[in-house]
Amino acid sequence: LLSKSGGLAASLGVDFNEFFAAFGVLRDSGKSAEETGTALKNLFAQFQTKRDKLEDLGFELFRVGADGKEALLPLADILAQVEAKTIDTTEVTKVLGDSGIDFVNTLVPGYEKLVGSTAQLASTTDELQQKSDAINGSLAGQAELLSGSVQTAFVELGKTIGQFTGPTISFTTQLV
């Protein structure tokens, strides 16, 4: 379920770090991993399929990014809108359903935790990327990358040769 909800989130332009922060906030609220993955997948799907109805209720869900592609607003921004709205929650429940509104109601109180966790994950991701770049930029790192590429080439070559030698060996064995 994480792969399905993560894939849908990525297709909507949801930030990787924010997705996992939301997953963590929901898990910390006592929801199982399966419930959390399903809730996220359903909510992202509803944001996409019921966009017009949600926008009619006054929610802004999407924006055009610097790359010219439309993407879902950060979850923190959407939650801030939910918290600021004075509309009847029964209207939102009609659009999102019970599970969708439950998800939103779980995340709204965890808004600060979501924002903090997203920032912490982004910082950690940046640090890891910097370390990775430093290692890969060194001579030893380049040698390791080359070694990995050579190993991959040998594996692929073995697969290709195996396609031809397998039938030949089988045929020769049957002849003998």
> Which is nearest to 60 in space by CA: 75, 74, 78, 46?
78
Q: How far apart are CA 96 and CA 100, in angstroms?
A: 5
Query: Is 17 within 8 Å of 76 (Cβ atoms)?
Result: no
Q: How far apart are CA 105 and CA 121, in angstroms?
A: 23
User: pLDDT, tens digit, for every residue of 58-92?
Assistant: 889 899 988 888 989 988 888 888 777 766 667 77
User: Tokens at residue 104, please?
Assistant: 């939103």
- The segment with the largest mean pLDDT, out of 22-31, 91-100, 159-168, is 22-31
What's the pTM value of the predicted model, to 2 decimals? 0.61
Query: Is 120 within 8 Å of 99 (Cβ atoms)?
Result: no
Q: What confidence score (pLDDT) does residue 157 get?
A: 63
